[in-house]
Amino acid sequence: MFPKKLEDLMSCLLIVVGALMASFSVVCILLPNDAIDYGTAGIAIIVSKLSGLNLSLSVFLIFLPFWIAGTWMLGKRFGAKALLGSLVYTLGLSLFERVHLELDTEHFLAVAFGGAILGAGLALILKNGGCIDGSEIFANILTKLIEDHTGKNISMTYILVGFNACVYMTAFALINKNAALMSLLVYVVATATINHFTDHFEAIKQVTMITKDADSLVKDMKEQMNKTCTMMDSYGAIAGENKTVICYVNYFELQRLKDIIAEHPGTFSTVSTIDEIVR
């Protein structure tokens, strides 16, 4: 097992690689073929096209308020990784714009390969606890507020689809219909790639933890994440009596919960994707 510092270094390195992959796809494949990114990056591209404002600057300025909100809601650790990914992504956009390496090809190939590279880059970032798109932070905050006020856990899927539908309708109205339709296909390919590597990151996750240190674990979850859980007595063939703790979180909260679990040696945990919770 890798030491904690080495794990953190590797995750930061993979975030950098993912951000460079995403910026390469946008500048060198998607934009030359009349397609745009989705989420807040898509908004920034529309703003840049209409105003003439520098693309990388537009991306960073539009992402900034979402980053501030995400750091407040999800903690400084998430904020640091999100900032790293965002800075590398914007620097990558600027770098690839200056290199002028444009792969102007048949539009369907651009959508397929550009969307796949973009999705793979974003998957690397998400799997390592980072984020470079404000729509995902927005969806996380909204689901968290709904949970706090109603007690209901909902998937981020509908919020993300609605957010990006607004982006593409704006592109359709202000740029041109071909760009909007091409970009919609990019979204489908990219999200399919992300879901393949992250097991549907937008879905609710059930974390099942088996531990002898249940009271301390639950206390940390409550204090650090304001999360409640279900506890059951259980028995291991070798370990003997212990507790099974079940908690429901979204993908971004999962990263924080993993850090808490790591602070409790001997805790065994599994993560499952939940399609629906019926109350």
Residues 163 and 107 in one domain: yes
Query: Is 260 inside a domain boundary?
Result: yes
Query: Is 226 inside a domain boundary?
Result: yes
- Check which CATH number belongs to the domain holding 230 and give it: 3.30.70.120
Alpha helices of 100-242 — where are they, by DSSP H? Answer: 107-127, 134-150, 157-174, 177-198, 214-225
**What is the pTM (predicted TM-score) of this model?**
0.84
Residues 83 and 63 in one domain: yes
Residues 127 and 20 in one domain: yes
Where does a domain end: 198, 232, 264?
A: 198
Contacts for 1 with CB less than 8 Å, ≥ 6 apart: none
Q: Check: CB of residue 84 under 8 Å from CB of residue 13.
A: no
Where does a domain end: 162, 179, 198?
A: 198
Residues 192 and 210 in one domain: no
User: How high is the pLDDT of residue 123?
Assistant: 92
**Domain interval for residue 116:** 4-198
**Of 90, 95, 109, residue with least CA distance to 48:** 90
Where does a domain end: 146, 166, 198?
A: 198
Domain total in the chain: 2
Identify any residues that bridge with 231 across adjacent strands, giving them in sequence order: 245
Query: Is 235 inside a domain boundary?
Result: yes
- Which pLDDT tens digits describe the chain residue by residue (279 residues)? 456 678 788 989 999 999 999 999 999 888 888 888 889 999 999 999 888 889 999 999 999 999 999 888 878 888 899 999 999 999 999 999 887 666 666 778 888 889 999 999 999 999 888 888 888 889 888 888 887 777 677 778 888 889 999 999 998 888 888 888 888 889 999 999 998 888 888 888 999 999 988 889 999 998 888 888 889 998 887 778 899 999 998 888 888 898 899 888 888 899 998 876 766
Residues 165 and 265 in one domain: no
User: How high is the pLDDT of residue 183?
Assistant: 87
Residues 188 and 252 in one domain: no
Residues 31 and 166 in one domain: yes
Handedness of CA 273, 25, 129, 165 (dihedral sign): negative
Query: Is 163 inside a domain boundary?
Result: yes
CA distance 134 to 58: 13
Residues 232 and 115 in one domain: no
pLDDT in tens, 165-207: 999 999 888 888 888 888 888 999 999 999 888 888 888 899 9
Residues 146 and 254 in one domain: no
Residues 10 and 46 in one domain: yes
Query: Is 17 inside a domain boundary?
Result: yes
Contacts for 134 with CB less than 8 Å, ≥ 6 apart: 39, 40, 62, 63, 65, 66, 67
Residues 193 and 250 in one domain: no
Query: Is 279 inside a domain boundary?
Result: no
Residues 269 and 157 in one domain: no
User: How high is the pLDDT of residue 147?
Assistant: 76
